[in-house]
Protein backbone atom coordinates (compact mmCIF):
# COMPACT_ATOMS: atom_id res chain seq x y z
CA UNK A 1 0.00 0.00 0.00
CA UNK A 2 2.81 2.43 0.89
CA UNK A 3 4.84 1.49 -2.20
CA UNK A 4 1.80 1.87 -4.44
CA UNK A 5 1.12 5.32 -2.95
CA UNK A 6 4.69 6.42 -3.66
CA UNK A 7 4.70 5.02 -7.21
CA UNK A 8 1.45 6.84 -7.96
CA UNK A 9 3.11 10.03 -6.73
CA UNK A 10 6.13 9.52 -8.99
CA UNK A 11 3.81 8.79 -11.89
CA UNK A 12 2.28 12.25 -11.57
CA UNK A 13 5.56 14.14 -11.96
CA UNK A 14 4.72 14.69 -15.63
CA UNK A 15 1.53 16.53 -14.63
CA UNK A 16 2.18 20.30 -15.13
CA UNK A 17 -0.15 21.18 -12.27
CA UNK A 18 1.68 18.85 -9.90
CA UNK A 19 5.10 20.04 -11.08
CA UNK A 20 4.08 23.65 -10.41
CA UNK A 21 3.30 22.83 -6.79
CA UNK A 22 6.50 20.78 -6.55
CA UNK A 23 8.67 23.66 -7.80
CA UNK A 24 6.92 26.12 -5.48
CA UNK A 25 7.46 23.72 -2.60
CA UNK A 26 11.15 23.31 -3.42
CA UNK A 27 11.59 27.08 -3.61
CA UNK A 28 9.81 27.69 -0.32
CA UNK A 29 11.62 24.75 1.26
CA UNK A 30 14.97 26.27 0.35
CA UNK A 31 13.89 29.69 1.67
CA UNK A 32 12.76 28.14 4.96
CA UNK A 33 15.98 26.16 5.17
CA UNK A 34 17.95 29.41 4.84
CA UNK A 35 15.75 31.02 7.50
CA UNK A 36 16.16 28.11 9.95
CA UNK A 37 19.91 28.07 9.32
CA UNK A 38 20.20 31.82 9.86
CA UNK A 39 18.21 31.54 13.09
CA UNK A 40 20.40 28.71 14.33
CA UNK A 41 23.56 30.64 13.54
CA UNK A 42 22.20 33.72 15.31
CA UNK A 43 21.48 31.67 18.44
CA UNK A 44 24.94 30.08 18.37
CA UNK A 45 26.64 33.39 17.76
CA UNK A 46 24.68 35.08 20.56
CA UNK A 47 25.43 32.18 22.93
CA UNK A 48 29.12 31.64 22.25
CA UNK A 49 30.30 34.70 20.32
CA UNK A 50 32.21 34.64 17.02
CA UNK A 51 35.35 33.46 18.79
CA UNK A 52 34.33 31.39 21.76
CA UNK A 53 36.30 29.46 24.34
CA UNK A 54 34.52 26.21 25.10
CA UNK A 55 35.28 23.87 28.05
CA UNK A 56 37.77 21.10 27.21
CA UNK A 57 38.12 22.47 23.65
CA UNK A 58 39.62 25.93 23.99
CA UNK A 59 39.22 28.77 21.51
CA UNK A 60 37.17 28.07 18.39
CA UNK A 61 36.49 30.31 15.42
CA UNK A 62 34.10 28.03 13.55
CA UNK A 63 31.14 30.40 14.05
CA UNK A 64 32.95 32.98 11.93
CA UNK A 65 33.48 30.35 9.27
CA UNK A 66 29.85 29.27 9.32
CA UNK A 67 28.69 32.84 8.94
CA UNK A 68 30.96 33.63 6.01
CA UNK A 69 32.27 31.79 2.96
CA UNK A 70 31.47 28.28 4.18
CA UNK A 71 27.87 29.14 5.06
CA UNK A 72 26.29 27.39 2.07
CA UNK A 73 28.19 24.16 2.59
CA UNK A 74 27.40 24.25 6.31
CA UNK A 75 23.72 24.84 5.58
CA UNK A 76 23.59 21.88 3.19
CA UNK A 77 25.21 19.64 5.79
CA UNK A 78 22.89 20.85 8.55
CA UNK A 79 19.90 20.36 6.24
CA UNK A 80 20.06 16.71 7.35
CA UNK A 81 18.49 17.97 10.60
CA UNK A 82 16.92 21.28 9.57
CA UNK A 83 14.75 19.82 6.78
CA UNK A 84 12.61 18.01 9.36
CA UNK A 85 11.05 21.23 10.73
CA UNK A 86 10.99 22.63 7.18
CA UNK A 87 8.96 19.63 6.02
CA UNK A 88 6.57 20.20 8.90
CA UNK A 89 6.20 23.90 8.12
CA UNK A 90 5.40 23.30 4.45
CA UNK A 91 2.36 21.13 5.17
CA UNK A 92 0.01 23.97 6.09
CA UNK A 93 0.85 25.85 2.88
CA UNK A 94 0.82 23.16 0.22
CA UNK A 95 -1.04 20.05 1.36
CA UNK A 96 -4.41 21.21 0.04
CA UNK A 97 -2.92 22.11 -3.35
CA UNK A 98 -1.08 18.79 -3.56
CA UNK A 99 -4.13 16.82 -2.47
CA UNK A 100 -6.36 18.61 -5.00
CA UNK A 101 -3.94 17.79 -7.83
CA UNK A 102 -3.76 14.14 -6.73
CA UNK A 103 -7.52 13.73 -6.32
CA UNK A 104 -8.38 15.49 -9.59
CA UNK A 105 -6.27 12.94 -11.43
CA UNK A 106 -6.71 9.70 -9.47
CA UNK A 107 -9.95 10.05 -7.50
CA UNK A 108 -12.28 11.86 -9.87
CA UNK A 109 -15.35 10.00 -8.53
CA UNK A 110 -15.10 11.87 -5.22
CA UNK A 111 -16.74 15.22 -4.55
CA UNK A 112 -14.52 18.22 -4.03
CA UNK A 113 -13.10 18.28 -0.51
CA UNK A 114 -13.39 21.35 1.67
CA UNK A 115 -10.05 23.04 2.11
CA UNK A 116 -8.78 23.14 5.67
CA UNK A 117 -9.00 26.78 6.85
CA UNK A 118 -5.57 28.33 6.56
CA UNK A 119 -5.66 29.62 10.13
CA UNK A 120 -6.51 26.16 11.51
CA UNK A 121 -3.80 24.48 9.44
CA UNK A 122 -1.24 27.09 10.47
CA UNK A 123 -2.15 26.71 14.15
CA UNK A 124 -1.84 22.93 13.92
CA UNK A 125 1.50 23.22 12.15
CA UNK A 126 2.92 25.71 14.69
CA UNK A 127 1.79 23.49 17.57
CA UNK A 128 3.25 20.41 15.94
CA UNK A 129 6.48 22.23 15.12
CA UNK A 130 6.93 22.90 18.82
CA UNK A 131 6.44 19.21 19.60
CA UNK A 132 8.85 18.26 16.81
CA UNK A 133 11.60 20.60 18.02
CA UNK A 134 11.16 19.58 21.68
CA UNK A 135 11.23 15.87 20.80
CA UNK A 136 14.39 16.26 18.73
CA UNK A 137 16.13 18.22 21.50
CA UNK A 138 15.32 15.40 23.90
CA UNK A 139 16.52 12.86 21.31
CA UNK A 140 20.00 14.41 21.43
CA UNK A 141 20.38 12.74 24.83
CA UNK A 142 19.59 9.38 23.24
CA UNK A 143 22.09 10.04 20.45
CA UNK A 144 24.87 10.42 23.01
CA UNK A 145 23.68 7.42 25.01
CA UNK A 146 23.39 5.13 21.99
CA UNK A 147 25.64 6.60 19.27
CA UNK A 148 25.60 3.51 16.99
CA UNK A 149 21.81 3.80 16.80
CA UNK A 150 21.58 7.58 16.49
CA UNK A 151 20.50 7.61 12.84
CA UNK A 152 17.85 4.95 13.48
CA UNK A 153 16.53 6.89 16.48
CA UNK A 154 16.41 10.01 14.28
CA UNK A 155 14.52 8.23 11.50
CA UNK A 156 12.14 6.43 13.85
CA UNK A 157 11.29 9.48 15.95
CA UNK A 158 10.81 11.87 13.05
CA UNK A 159 9.09 9.23 10.96
CA UNK A 160 6.53 8.78 13.70
CA UNK A 161 5.98 12.53 14.12
CA UNK A 162 5.96 13.49 10.43
CA UNK A 163 3.77 10.53 9.48
CA UNK A 164 1.32 11.51 12.18
CA UNK A 165 1.15 15.11 10.96
CA UNK A 166 1.02 14.43 7.22
CA UNK A 167 -1.61 11.71 7.51
CA UNK A 168 -3.76 13.76 9.88
CA UNK A 169 -3.80 16.75 7.52
CA UNK A 170 -4.48 14.55 4.48
CA UNK A 171 -7.35 12.71 6.19
CA UNK A 172 -8.80 15.77 7.91
CA UNK A 173 -9.94 17.21 4.56
CA UNK A 174 -12.59 14.47 4.26
CA UNK A 175 -12.87 12.97 7.73
CA UNK A 176 -12.75 16.04 9.94
CA UNK A 177 -10.38 16.35 12.87
CA UNK A 178 -12.01 13.62 15.01
CA UNK A 179 -12.36 11.19 12.11
CA UNK A 180 -8.74 11.72 11.06
CA UNK A 181 -7.59 11.01 14.61
CA UNK A 182 -9.58 7.74 14.75
CA UNK A 183 -8.28 6.61 11.37
CA UNK A 184 -4.70 7.51 12.34
CA UNK A 185 -4.87 5.44 15.52
CA UNK A 186 -6.37 2.49 13.63
CA UNK A 187 -3.49 2.44 11.15
CA UNK A 188 -0.69 3.79 13.37
CA UNK A 189 1.87 1.16 12.38
CA UNK A 190 1.43 1.67 8.65
CA UNK A 191 1.58 5.45 9.06
CA UNK A 192 4.75 5.19 11.15
CA UNK A 193 6.45 3.09 8.48
CA UNK A 194 5.42 5.55 5.76
CA UNK A 195 6.66 8.45 7.87
CA UNK A 196 9.99 6.73 8.47
CA UNK A 197 10.40 6.13 4.74
CA UNK A 198 9.81 9.85 4.33
CA UNK A 199 12.28 10.81 7.08
CA UNK A 200 15.09 8.73 5.57
CA UNK A 201 15.52 10.74 2.32
CA UNK A 202 15.14 13.93 4.36
CA UNK A 203 18.64 13.02 5.56
CA UNK A 204 20.03 13.39 2.02
CA UNK A 205 21.19 16.96 1.28
CA UNK A 206 19.49 18.59 -1.76
CA UNK A 207 17.34 15.50 -2.36
CA UNK A 208 15.49 16.44 0.82
CA UNK A 209 14.11 19.60 -0.84
CA UNK A 210 11.62 17.61 -2.93
CA UNK A 211 10.53 15.27 -0.13
CA UNK A 212 7.91 17.48 1.63
CA UNK A 213 5.75 17.78 -1.51
CA UNK A 214 6.27 14.16 -2.57
CA UNK A 215 5.45 13.17 1.00
CA UNK A 216 2.22 15.17 0.99
CA UNK A 217 1.14 13.45 -2.24
CA UNK A 218 2.13 10.01 -0.95
CA UNK A 219 0.15 10.44 2.27
CA UNK A 220 -2.85 11.65 0.28
CA UNK A 221 -2.69 8.41 -1.72
CA UNK A 222 -2.13 6.41 1.47
CA UNK A 223 -5.26 7.88 3.02
CA UNK A 224 -7.32 6.94 -0.05
CA UNK A 225 -5.75 3.48 -0.21
CA UNK A 226 -6.70 2.89 3.43
CA UNK A 227 -10.23 4.15 2.89
CA UNK A 228 -10.74 2.08 -0.26
CA UNK A 229 -10.06 -1.10 1.76
CA UNK A 230 -12.08 -0.09 4.81
CA UNK A 231 -15.40 -1.79 5.59
CA UNK A 232 -18.36 0.21 4.28
CA UNK A 233 -19.44 1.26 7.77
CA UNK A 234 -16.04 2.89 8.34
CA UNK A 235 -15.97 4.96 5.17
CA UNK A 236 -16.60 8.68 5.21
CA UNK A 237 -20.05 9.81 4.01
CA UNK A 238 -18.83 11.39 0.75
CA UNK A 239 -17.56 8.01 -0.42
CA UNK A 240 -20.80 6.16 -0.15
CA UNK A 241 -20.85 2.41 0.37
Half-sphere exposure at residue 217, Cβ-oriented, CA atoms within 13 angstroms: 27
> pLDDT value at position 49?
63
Quick check: helix, strand or coil at residue 110?
coil
Q: Examine residue 155 and state whether it is found in any structural domain, yes or no.
A: yes
Element (H, E) at 237: none
- Separation of alpha carbons 241 and 229, rounded Å: 11
**Residue 128 falls within a domain, yes or no?**
yes
| Choice between 183 and 1, residue whose per-residue pLDDT is larger | 183
- Paired with 53 in beta bridges are 59
Rounded mean pLDDT, 65-82: 68
**195, part of any domain:** yes
On whether residue 235 sits in a domain, the answer given is yes
3-state secondary structure of 58: strand
Question: What does residue 187 show for φ and ψ, rounded to 5 degrees?
Answer: -120, 35
Asked, for residue 113, whether it belongs to a domain, the answer is yes
End-to-end CA separation in angstroms for the chain: 21
Per the structure, the count of domains in the chain is 1
Helix or strand or coil: residue 69? coil
Q: Is the pLDDT of residue 47 over 90?
A: no
Model confidence over 149-158: pLDDT tens digits? 999 999 999 9
Does residue 44 form part of some domain? Answer: no
Confidence of residue 66 (pLDDT cuts 50, 70, 90): low
pLDDT digits (tens, 9 = 90+) for 165-205: 999 989 988 988 899 999 999 999 999 999 999 999 988 88
Q: How far is CA 129 from the centre of its chain?
A: 10
Residue 102: inside a domain: yes
Classify residue 119 by burial, with Cβ atoms within 10 Å: 0-12, 13-18, 19+: exposed
Bridge partners (DSSP) listed for residue 52: 60
Contact status, residue 131 vs residue 147, Cβ threshold 8 Å: no
- Percent of the chain surpassing pLDDT 70: 84
58: pLDDT strictly greater than 60 = no
Of residues 236 and 122, the one with the higher pLDDT is 122
Residue 101: domain span: 2-32+79-239
Average pLDDT score, the chain:
83
pLDDT value for 56 = 42
When comparing pLDDT for 195 and 233, which is higher? 195
What does the pLDDT read at residue 121?
Answer: 74
Binned at pLDDT 50, 70 and 90, residue 241 comes out as very low
- CA 84, CA 153: separation in Å to the nearest integer? 14
Burial class (CB in 10 A: 0-12, 13-18, 19+), 132: buried
How far apart (Å, rounded) are the C-alpha atoms in residues 114 and 37? 35
| Residue 219 resides in a domain | yes
Amino acid sequence: MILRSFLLTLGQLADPRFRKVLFLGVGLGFALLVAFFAGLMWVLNASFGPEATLPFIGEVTWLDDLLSWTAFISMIILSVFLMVPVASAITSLFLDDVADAVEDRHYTHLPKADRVPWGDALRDTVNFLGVLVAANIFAVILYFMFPPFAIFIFWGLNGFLLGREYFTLAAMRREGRAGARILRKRHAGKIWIAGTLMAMPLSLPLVNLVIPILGAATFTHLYHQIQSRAPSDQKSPDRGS
